[in-house]
Structure 1
Amino acid sequence: MRRADYTVVIPTVGRASLRTLLDALLDAAAADPGGAPAEILVVDDRARPGAPLPLPSAAGRDLRVLRSGGRGPAAARNVGWRAAATEWAAFLDDDVVPAPDWTAKAAADLADQPGDVGGSQGAVAVPPPEGRRPTDWERGTAGLADASWITADMAYRRRVLAEVGGFDERFRRAYREDADLALRVMAAGHRLVRGARTVTHPVRPAGFWTSVRAQAGNADDVLMRRLHGRDWRRRAGETPGRFRRHLLTTASGLLAAAAYAAGGRRVALPAAVAWAGLTAEFAAARILPGPRTPGETARMVVTSAVIPPAAVWHRLRGLLAHARAGPWCGDRAVLFDRDDTLVRDVPYNGDPERVRPVPGAREALDRLRRRGVRIGVVSNQSGVARGLITRADVRRVNERIEELLGPVDVWEICPHRPDDRCACRKPRPGLIERAARRLDVAPSRCVVIGDIGADMRAAQAAGARGVLVPTARTRPEEIRDAPEVAPDLRAAVDRALALLAEGRPR
């Protein structure tokens, strides 16, 4: 049997548990070098670099740190697997502890799998508390041991991830992004299997309001239903939730309050009784299986009254946010010129305060994000070579653009003069080719939107499609020669989506 070719990918926000995970992983690899991963990729998903990550001092060249800019665990995992060069990408959460034989069993799990197997899940063990019943939070964490396809320990073939576009980055929290990917992989005709490797998932401490904050996942449930239909829970191995009861509880409470304020006590009283009964039932369901300590009981009583309206609020928020959500297609990208396309052109601008988006820019980019289309910016910035601005100036301006227009998946900047004969300055294709490579998207699956002929010629040279949005500086012959012309950014995005839909793979 051959050894599996795999890379371990670990998204993190810098928790201390990362060090424990890495120590255990490196010890397992040292115990069985033949089963060791080709590389360990730690993806730092903090929005801005903070304190150094808690990495082992003995970490060698096989451990590499990447950054994903605080876009959530789905985006961080995409950064990781796209940077890998192996057949498999094995994902671990930064709060698990691999067993001493994890690498040996991972290699055995992944080696010689049939071609129709797209993914392999490891076993997750959650240690129970000693000497008492588990709390409500601990019971919830213990459910991970029976969950399907969770990325606490889940490996996928890289070609399968590329086929389905990777993780859907609209899931910004560590919730549902793993189930969504599994459903898409299986829908594409690949099998998911279970392996023999094991990780331990300790229960993290929970604050008083942790269960209330967790209700934000109701917005992600809306996206799951939009993408996978009404029966997504059954297909994902999920149990039915309590949302209908939360909705009834919230409606009863609102009716009681409104009727009382309007003087309708005959309506307010039964509505209040219904609210109290539903809330008491919910609290009892959470209190009775637990340790029933005074602190735990008080927390359950208070949060059981707050959770139903919080759940309803987040469900409404999800309905608004994902009303037009379409399938995630991470294998498509739209690459924008920067100046006079996304923001007003200020020659050699190094001042973030002078950034002014063009009308409709935020709406256009948000529309692409809702469709799951990746976004990049490719921009000539010869002011760096001319000594008029620095690379740090360019970076600060780009950060300001992201503050105003939302996250950009990749920035590619050419700092050279026109006469430097570099391979990246538009109309040469280097910027587009580099952006596509970093996004793991074929140039033919990219559309370039710009305002001058150099943007269109660069797109053509790279094998991408081009859409021109003319401005005052666009020459008539550039408009005449452009493959596609749009009057504004919104229309350009419409045309880009149409071009990307042409010949879209099944």
Structure 2
Amino acid sequence: MIDYSVVIPTTGRESLWRLLSALDTAMGPRPREIIVVDDRPGGAELDLLPSARLLRSGGRGPAAARNTGWRHSDAEWIAFLDDDVVPGVDWPARLTADLTGLGDLVGASTAEIVVPLPADRRPTDDERGTAGLADARWITADMAYRRSALAAVGGFDERFPRAYREDADLALRVRLAGYAVVRGARRTTHPVRPSGTLASVRAQRGNADDVLMRIEHGRRWRELIGEGPGRLPLHVLTTGAAVLGGLLAAVGRRRAAAGCAAGWAALTAEFAARRIRPGPRTPAEIGRMVLTSVLIPPAACLHRLRGEVRHRAARRGGPLPPQALLFDRDDTLIGDVPYLADPAGVRPMPGAEEALRMSRAAGLRLGVVSNQSGVARGLISADQLAEVNARVEDLLGPFQTWQVCVHGPDDGCECRKPAPGMVFRAAQDLGVPVERCVVIGDTGADIAAAAAAGARAILVPTARTRPEEVVRARAEAAVADDIVAAVALALAGVR
């Protein structure tokens, strides 16, 4: 029996309820759970069917929403569905058939996406754009990933803020990690949804994400995802002709300006004709194509420039990849029991095992930096502390260094967080520069100790974390929802 969960990111569109109803009545083995991730930044809670579990991702985009979903499931396979698809009546049966018998090195299975187009007329530009999903590789409208493959690469890259390129990027990284991506036999319908007059202009925001694809996967990235060359060079030429013509006209060089204007008009006319020719050619469609063909080239260039500035600046100014992760112990790796003296009381925090598995798979060195003033207070002995720490390793695996401060708050030592002493000693023990270390903890003291040492830091808030500590961490370090997300953020590069 295939063990799978379904993850559906949503912004609350009406199509979500159609999808959930279809899954509720579909034939075949039931998923372990259906997880709906509400990616709206706020608003009333969604009213779902009893079979669905609701999580929130805070409006951070579909990549973050999918990460939130799969990290809350322990199923072997995670089936991602977009909230506007229509699965077949036997979708669960076909999905499990696709996944049955796949070897351990198969990391994902794709579905065939069907986009219904009108039979009585030619499709519009928007409809042709949606129809292109049927030929796209690795589209997460319906794609199942092995959970271990997601964990190995840290899941979706949340630097992709919209439903564009984040699925291709993930598939490329999963393949680079040694997993195969295979095509399944199941079919899922993706209807064409209505769009506004300027939808194709708004879609040019994706040019900024193309910059990130090139930086991460090289100049052949389009070839790797099975896509032909884009039209950006012609958009640059068109926009350049318009800008240069305007400058020449401003300085009185009318003949040269007229030549540039003619070039702009010719390129724009060719672009509009290319888009009008395969469509229904109604007056409304022709007018929309002419208008957007004027607006698309400068919009594409503007967003591409924005992406170059954003991602290149981050690359130049960002840190080198981490070599070591240093974890706080209580309320980060294990549940906090004040002055814990009994090894039987050690309980790993949710996600701690998965986070450490990801860290070790990435080849990072691991350490613990922990304040334990109970020794100075006489509430626990040094031997009891050692037994508790040994139990932590029994449950969570080995750490290359343990740095524990047994002093009290008033002892004036250099090791008790927020002092940087333990962070310095851990980096020295691990043999890595302190700036290549990332400290992960639940209090402002963890963040301050990392900053004082020159390391990076990620705060994972708990019920005991003070609100002002979260605010400060967002401004000066980074904040993650849980320990798994913190490790994924560290692997992606904390900025």
With normalisation by structure 2, the TM-score equals 0.72
Q: 1:214 aligns with which of 203, 206, 230?
A: 203
Match for residue 12 of structure 2? 14
**Residues 1:483 and 2:426 are matched in the alignment:** yes
- CA gap 1:207/1:447 in 2 versus in 1, 3 angstroms: farther
Q: CA deviation at 1:415?
A: 12
Aligned to 1:43: 37
Distance 1:477 1:127, change over 3 A: closer
2:46 pairs with 1:53 = yes
Tell me: CA distance 1:453–1:271, structure 2 relative to 1, closer, same or farther (3 Å).
farther
Secondary structure in structure 1 of the residue aligned to 2:151 = helix
Deviates more, 1:245-254 or 1:65-74: 65-74
The letter for the 2-side match of 1:105 is: R
Question: Cα distance, 1:141 vs. partner?
Answer: 0.2
Cα distance in structure 2, aligned partners of 1:123 and 1:77: 20
Q: Distance in 2 between matches of 1:92 and 1:293?
A: 34
Q: Does 1:142 align with 2:131?
A: yes
Equivalents in 1 of 2:147, 2:284: separation in Å? 47
Measure, in 1, the Cα distance between the counterparts of 2:369 and 2:178.
38
CA displacement 1:450-485 (0-9 Å, x = unmatched):
99787xx999978487999xxx99743545555357
For 2:123 and 2:143, locate their aligned partners in 1 and report how far apart those are by CA, in whole Å.
26
Mapping 1:406-445, distance limit 5 Å: 433-434=349-350, 436=352
State the one-letter code of the partner of 1:145.
A
Task: Measure how far apart 1:67 and its partner are.
Answer: 1.4
2:19–2:87 contact (8 Å) kept in structure 1? yes
Q: Is the 8 A contact 2:126 2:200 kept in 1?
A: yes
SS at match of 2:240: helix
Identify the residue that residue 471 of structure 2 maps to in structure 1: none
Aligned with residue 5 of structure 1, among 3, 8, 12: 3
Q: In the alignment, is residue 309 of structure 1 matched against residue 247 of structure 2?
A: no
User: How far apart, in 2, do the equivalents of 1:52 and 1:275 lie?
Assistant: 50
Report if the CA contact (8 A) 1:78-1:167 is conserved. yes
Q: Does residue 117 of structure 1 match 2:117? A: no
Aligned to 2:312, what secondary structure does the other structure show? coil
Task: Figure out how many residues of one structure are paired with residues of the other and give that number.
Answer: 408
Cα deviation, residue 264, structure 1? 1.5
Matching residue of 2:154: 165
Quote how far apart the aligned CAs of 1:437 are: 5.5
Change (3 A) 1:429 1:367: farther
Aligned twin of 1:398: none
- Is 2:327–2:367's contact at 8 Å kept on the other side of the alignment? no
**Using a 3 Å threshold, how does the CA distance of structure 1 residues 277 and 125 change in structure 2: closer, same or farther?**
same
- Unaligned ranges ≥5, structure 1: 327-362, 381-410
After TM superposition, list the pairs within 5 Å mapping 1:215-230 onto structure 2.
215-230=204-219
From the superposition, tell whether residues 14 and 178 of structure 1 become closer, same or farther in structure 2 (CA, over 3 Å).
same
Q: What is the SS of the residue equivalent to 1:159?
A: helix
Contact 2:38–2:56 at 8 Å: present in 1 too?
A: yes
2:175 equivalent to 1:175: no
- Matched residue of 1:483: which SS? helix
The 5 A counterparts of 1:79-478 are: 79-323=68-312, 367=318, 433-434=349-350, 436=352, 463=399, 475-478=413-416
1:321 aligns to what SS in structure 2? helix
Flag the 1:281–1:480 CA change in 2: closer, same or farther, 3 A. closer
AA paired with 1:216? R
Whole-angstrom distance in 2 between the partners of 1:322 and 1:430: 40
TM-superposed deviation, 1:268: 0.8
Contact 2:329–2:368 (Cα < 8 Å) also in 1 = no
- Report deviation, 1:212: 0.8
Counterpart selection for 2:454 from 478, 484, 492: 492
Does the CA-based 8 Å contact 1:168-1:372 persist in structure 2?
A: no
Q: Is the 8 A contact 1:252 1:274 kept in 2?
A: yes
In the TM superposition, residue 6 of structure 1 has moved relative to its aligned partner by: 1.1
Distance 1:269 1:149 in 2: 46
Q: Deviations over 1:210-263 (max 9, x none)?
A: 111110100110000111111111110112210000010011110011111121
Q: Summarize deviations over 1:244-300 as a string: whole Å, max 9, x none.
A: 000100111100111111212122111111111111111111111111122211111
1-structure distance, mates of 2:454, 2:402? 10
8 Å Cα contact 1:75/1:167 also seen in 2: yes
Contact kept, 8 Å, 1:447 with 1:467, in 2: the verdict is no
Report if aligned partners of 1:448, 1:459 keep a CA contact under 8 Å in 2.
Answer: no
- Per-residue CA deviation, residues 338-383 of structure 1 (Å, 9 max, x unaligned), is xxxxxxxxxxxxxxxxxxxxxxxxx9xx947x9699x999899xxx
CA 476–187 in structure 1, closer or farther in 2 if over 3 Å, else same: closer
Task: Tell me, yes or no, if the aligned pair for 1:446 and 1:464 is still in contact at 8 Å.
Answer: yes
Structure 1 CA distance for aligned equivalents of residues 48 and 138 of structure 2: 27
Aligned partner of 2:396 in structure 1 is none
Which residue is 2:481 aligned to?
none
Specify whether residues 477 and 494 from structure 1 end up closer, same or farther in structure 2 by C-alpha distance, changes over 3 A only.
Answer: closer
Asked whether the equivalents of residues 164 and 209 of structure 2 are also in contact (C-alpha less than 8 Å), the reply is: yes
Question: 1:117 deviation in Å?
Answer: 1.4
Q: 1:372 to 1:299 in 2, by over 3 A?
A: farther
Contact 1:436 1:442 in 2 (8 A): no
Does the CA contact (< 8 Å) of 1:169 and 1:372 recur in 2? no
Structure 2: how far apart are the matches of 1:14 and 1:318?
29
What is the SS of the residue equivalent to 1:308? Answer: helix
Indicate the SS of the match to 1:322: helix
2:462 paired residue number = none
Partner Cα distance (1:417, 1:174) in 2: 42
* Whole-angstrom distance in 2 between the partners of 1:190 and 1:102: 24
Cα distance, 1:492 vs. partner? 2.5
Q: Which moved more, 1:196-205 or 1:287-296?
A: 287-296
The DSSP-based 3-state class of the residue aligned with 1:214 is helix
Percent of residue pairs identical: 50
Q: What is the distance in 2 between the residues matched to 1:132 and 1:372? A: 56
Q: Is the 8 A contact 1:43 1:66 kept in 2?
A: yes
Determine the C-alpha separation between the residues in 2 that align with 1:166 and 1:477: 35
**Would the aligned equivalents of 2:10 and 2:36 in 1 still touch at CA under 8 Å?**
yes
Q: What's the C-alpha RMSD, in Å, of the aligned pairs? A: 4.0
Letter in 2 for 1:51: A
Instruction: For 1:71 and 1:367, locate their aligned partners in 2 and report how far apart those are by CA, in whole Å.
Output: 21
Task: Output the CA distance in 1 between the equivalents of 2:219 and 2:337.
Answer: 56
Contact 2:3 2:75 in 1 (8 A): yes
- The 1:293–1:492 alpha-carbon spacing in structure 2 relative to 1, beyond 3 Å, is same
